[in-house]
Copies of this chain bind each other. A is one copy, B any other.
Amino acid sequence: MFALKKLYDQPGLWWTDDAPIPAVGPRDVLVAVTHAGICGTDRHIYEWDAWSRNRVHLGTTTGHEFVGRVVQVGEAVTRTRVGQRVSAEGHVGCGRCRACRTGNGHICEQVEILGIDRDGCFAQYVAVPEDNIWPIDARIPDHVAAVFDPLGNAMHTVMAAGVSGKSVLITGVGIIGLMAVTVARAAGAARIFACDVDRRRLEIARCLGADETYHAADEDWPDRVRHATHQRGADVLLEMSGHPRAIQQGFSSLAGGGVAALLGLPSDRVVLDLANDIIFKGATVLGINGRRMFETWYQVEDFVLSGRLDLAPIITHQLELHEFQKGFQLMQSGEAIKVVLAIPQESLSSCPTPASTTAAVSCSLL
């Protein structure tokens, strides 16, 4: 099959036409990918930064946001059928630790992530454990289904913090930050403030419902948050930049008794004024990672079906998989927010003959 792989120890991803079809264990499901989103993490791997050089093995197929059709199921699979349209949770937990056994597999210490620690979805086929499969409701279009994973990050952050009737500050409105704007709006935020270094993204944030936006270069923006909130500060901080300065200013903008949900990953350690920013304020800080399995997925589905989310300004480009170079470049230039790559239907024209580990193989195409 074809696949986009990290083959060499240098920036880039490489198209290969002769990747082996992934093995399908008894509890696994093989999915023919029809649409896949490019994540900021994929871009890190593409650009081959320090983090990805340390984490990703050469030869790995990249990509973890997708929708597709089930073409094969392992013989112990019971709830998934060939032909189903599905996405999947990309965090594959160990299944035996306390986190995994209490519905918190997103914080499993042995977690393997699709497209990072195991072969991902920028490919003709991807194999995932049935436990990770999420059936997609027929009313949801493909390009939206393809981004349930990052939408889930935004949803998990917003719902963990609790925004109903609250003033909400979002620091960093990249892909997930912008998704958080529309989710927070739908979830009942009273007011939304957004900060970023990119003016176009701030425009999109306003279009999605942000009441006030601040350019990060305006050093006084925390004062404007205070001005807008009777000097209290924002009830909720959704930190989605990972930038130390944004984190510090975000905390200084937080109201007494406020909640800060941290999703953005700093590339290094961060200096915090714990006494003034957290302790005296009686603040609550939540570390946010992945998505809750599968509470967050249900919430994403419910909100998408309710029609209250606006994803159009976020999914700016839809390309075909072979145009991936262009996709990454559009992201790098800032022209694109979210790029969804489609895999043409003809690629699904014949039944694959995968290197299965199991004898009994079901296979059909819809």
Instruction: Identify the A interface with B (CB < 8 A).
Output: 25-27, 74-76, 78-79, 95-96, 98-99, 101-104, 106-109, 159, 162-167, 186-191, 232, 247, 256-257, 262-263, 265-266, 269-275, 278-289, 292-295, 297-299, 302-303, 305-306, 308
Contacts and interface: CB of A to CB of B under 8 A. Distances in A.
A286 B284 contact: yes
B303 A165 contact: yes
B285 A263 contact: no
Q: Most chain-B CB neighbours within 10 Å: which of A75, A165, A284?
A: A165
Contact of A107 (B187, B282, B286, B303): B282
Contacts of A284: 284-287
Contact of A76 (B26, B98, B166, B262): B26
Contacts of A297: 101
Given A27-B76, A164-B164, A269 B274 contact: yes
Contacts of A303: 165, 190
Contacts of A95: 78-79
A278 B190 CA distance: 27
B280 A285 contact: no
Contacts of A107: 256-257, 280-282
A82 to B, nearest CB: 16
Contacts of A191: 306
Contact of A287 (B96, B109, B283): B283
A164 to B, nearest CB: 5
Contacts of A266: 274-275
B282 A278 contact: no
Contact of A262 (B269, B273, B278, B292): B278
Contact of A101 (B25, B286, B293): B293
A21 to B, nearest CB: 20
A101 B25 CA distance: 21
Contacts of A167: 302
B275 A272 contact: no
Contact of A281 (B26, B74, B287, B293): B287
Given A107-B280, A191-B306, 12 more contacts: A27-B27, A99-B257, A101-B293, A159-B165, A190-B308, A247-B274, A266-B275, A270-B274, A278-B287, A279-B287, A284-B284, A284-B286
A165 B299 contact: yes
Contacts of A295: 102
Contacts of A99: 256-257
30 contacts: A26-B76, A76-B76, A78-B95, A98-B256, A101-B297, A107-B281, A107-B282, A162-B164, A163-B188, A164-B164, A164-B187, A164-B188, A165-B186, A165-B187, A165-B299, A165-B302, A166-B302, A187-B188, A188-B189, A190-B303, A191-B306, A266-B275, A271-B271, A271-B272, A279-B288, A280-B289, A282-B288, A283-B287, A284-B284, A284-B287
A293 B188 CA distance: 22
A279 B306 contact: no
Contacts of A189: 188
Contacts of A163: 164, 188
Contacts of A256: 98-99, 104, 107-109
